[in-house]
């Protein structure tokens, strides 16, 4: 049967028309060898909505009009002209497909299943972006606090913040952790978090004991220094326990929470952020994110996963990488992720970027020059590994920030700041001046 015009256009739309008709547009990078990219794009659209590999009796035109996806763009790279010049390699394709908002609601499990479910296992296809209409985004609350809310809680608005995670990663007692908390916060750390490997409530470090002791130290340090510290306690657990873990942590005095977002799920983060009884910032931890966005030709892009999805789900701040540390994280990824954390997005507040993964005093100025001052320098080893202890480590990190803010080279600043000089020497810098000054 010859296809009529209405039949053809049922499966296609311009992007701007799809937006106006309440569709969400997903963008895919496609390296699947094919002689018919149009057919492949339609197969993706059908697979993720009403169709399957064979025509079935109840897949009517009416259902397809309401619930079916539409192909809105296919870009071939390079864009082959009629001159038939052969490219040096097979072309890559960028495919955009529009999905009806009603197919997924505001459920993150359904968002992911709809936009990238079965096709994520169909070869070298990578989801590189997703565009949401304003009327869809407005159904989400996003971060409760975000950048300004966290700064307000701490009373700090004029410099980058400092985060330290308790080290070693796990195995410490509440008393040992409380001692490290006191030293680091007295030295000038603004946010202290559990390591992602510290479970919420095991017998060697119970949640109640940990949170209670830490918050006692927070009060003590505030009385001594006038500076508050947020404690992001890890509430990651079986999903049926997470909300109760959050409630109990707040009951014990916690002023911040942390969730291992990529193992718990975006929906778990959304549940916590939208709960009116949880009135503290939430730190989204990045561990396991490499499974989602670590590959070149499959999975999800880093800015989409780490930035857009977590921000929409309500993370107030999130650990993320940088090019000067221990993990491979290129500058282009840093720039793109940071934009997805912070650029205007209607009602969704900006999310605070925690520069982490081998962060130390010698790269502080690089991070500030690249991203500005609305960031958090997140360091574990560079604080707790200081030769004079965690308080000195925290002081040295604040000194490195002061140097960068004043435009003074870090080694010049170290000449009159002992803690910074000691750490610089430990990191291999040439310190030829008196460390006792």
Q: List, by residue number, the catalytic residues.
A: 167, 285
Residue 73 forms beta bridges with which residues? 96
Q: Please state, in angstroms and rounded to a whole number, the distance separating the CA atoms of residues 282 and 149.
A: 11
CA 325 – CA 286 distance, rounded (Å): 15
Is the CB of residue 186 less than 8 Å from the CB of residue 221? yes
Q: Are strands 317-320 and 282-285 parallel, antiparallel or unpaired?
A: parallel
Structure tokens at 313: 């789900």
In degrees, rounded to 5, the angle at the alpha carbon of residue 115 between the alpha carbons of residues 59 and 25 is 95
With a CB cutoff of 8 Å and minimum separation 6, the contacts of 2 are none
Q: Which residues pair with 205 in a beta bridge?
A: 202
Q: How many helices and strands (H and E) does the chain possess?
A: 21, 13
Beta strands 317-320 and 352-355, pairing class? parallel
Q: Are strands 92-100 and 23-30 parallel, antiparallel or unpaired?
A: antiparallel
Reduced to 3 states, what is the DSSP secondary structure of residue 77? strand
Q: How many residues does the chain have?
A: 437
- Give residues with Cβ within 8 angstroms of 70, minimum separation 6: 10, 11, 12, 13, 18, 23, 45, 97, 98
Angle at 89 between CA 88 and CA 94, to 5 degrees: 125
Q: DSSP E strands: which ranges in 282-339? A: 282-285, 299-300, 317-320
3-state class (DSSP) for residue 407: coil
Tell me the C-alpha distance between 291 and 274, whole Å. Answer: 26
Strands 317-320, 191-193: pairing is: unpaired
Q: What sign results for the dihedral spanned by CA atoms 269, 271, 275, 278?
A: negative
């Amino acid at each position: 049967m010859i296809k009529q015009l209405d039949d053809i256009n049922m499966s296609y739309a311009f992007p701007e028309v799809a937006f106006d008709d309440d569709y969400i547009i997903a963008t895919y990078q496609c390296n699947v060898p094919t002689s018919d990219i149009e057919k492949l794009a339609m197969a993706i659209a059908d697979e993720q909505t009403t169709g399957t590999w064979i025509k079935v009796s109840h897949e009517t035109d009416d259902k397809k009009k309401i619930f079916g996806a539409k192909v809105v763009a296919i870009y071939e790279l390079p864009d082959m002209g009629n001159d038939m010049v052969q490219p040096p390699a097979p072309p890559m394709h960028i495919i955009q497909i529009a999905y009806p908002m009603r197919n997924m609601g505001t459920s993150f499990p359904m968002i992911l299943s709809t936009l990238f479910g079965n096709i994520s296992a169909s070869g070298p296809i990578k989801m590189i972006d997703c565009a949401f209409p304003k009327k869809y985004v407005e159904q989400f609350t996003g971060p409760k606090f975000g950048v300004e809310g966290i700064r307000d809680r701490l009373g700090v608005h004029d410099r980058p913040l400092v985060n330290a995670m308790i080290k070693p990663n796990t195995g410490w007692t509440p008393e040992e952790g409380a001692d490290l908390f006191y030293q680091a916060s007295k030295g000038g750390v603004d946010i202290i978090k559990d390591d992602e490997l510290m479970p919420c409530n095991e017998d060697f470090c119970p949640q109640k004991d940990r949170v209670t002791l830490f918050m006692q130290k927070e009060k003590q340090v505030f009385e001594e220094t006038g500076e508050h510290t947020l404690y992001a306690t890890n509430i990651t657990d079986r999903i049926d326990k997470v909300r109760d873990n959050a409630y109990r942590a707040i009951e014990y005095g916690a002023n911040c929470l942390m969730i291992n977002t990529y193992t718990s799920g975006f929906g778990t983060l959304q549940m916590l952020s939208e709960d009116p009884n949880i009135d503290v910032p939430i730190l989204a931890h990045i561990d396991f994110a490499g499974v989602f966005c670590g590959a070149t030709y499959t999975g999800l892009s880093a800015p989409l996963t780490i930035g857009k999805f977590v921000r929409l789900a309500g993370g107030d701040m999130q650990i993320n990488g940088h090019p000067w540390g221990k993990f491979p994280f290129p500058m282009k990824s840093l720039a793109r992720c940071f934009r997805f954390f912070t650029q205007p997005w209607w009602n969704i507040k900006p999310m605070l970027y925690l520069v982490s993964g081998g962060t130390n005093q010698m790269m502080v100025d690089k991070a500030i020059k690249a991203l500005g001052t609305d960031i958090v320098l997140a360091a574990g080893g560079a604080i707790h590994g200081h030769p004079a202890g965690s308080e000195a480590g925290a002081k040295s990190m604040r000194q490195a920030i002061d140097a960068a803010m004043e435009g003074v080279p870090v080694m010049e600043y170290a000449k009159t700041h002992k803690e910074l000089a000691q750490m610089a020497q430990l990191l291999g810098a040439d310190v030829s001046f008196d460390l006792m000054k």
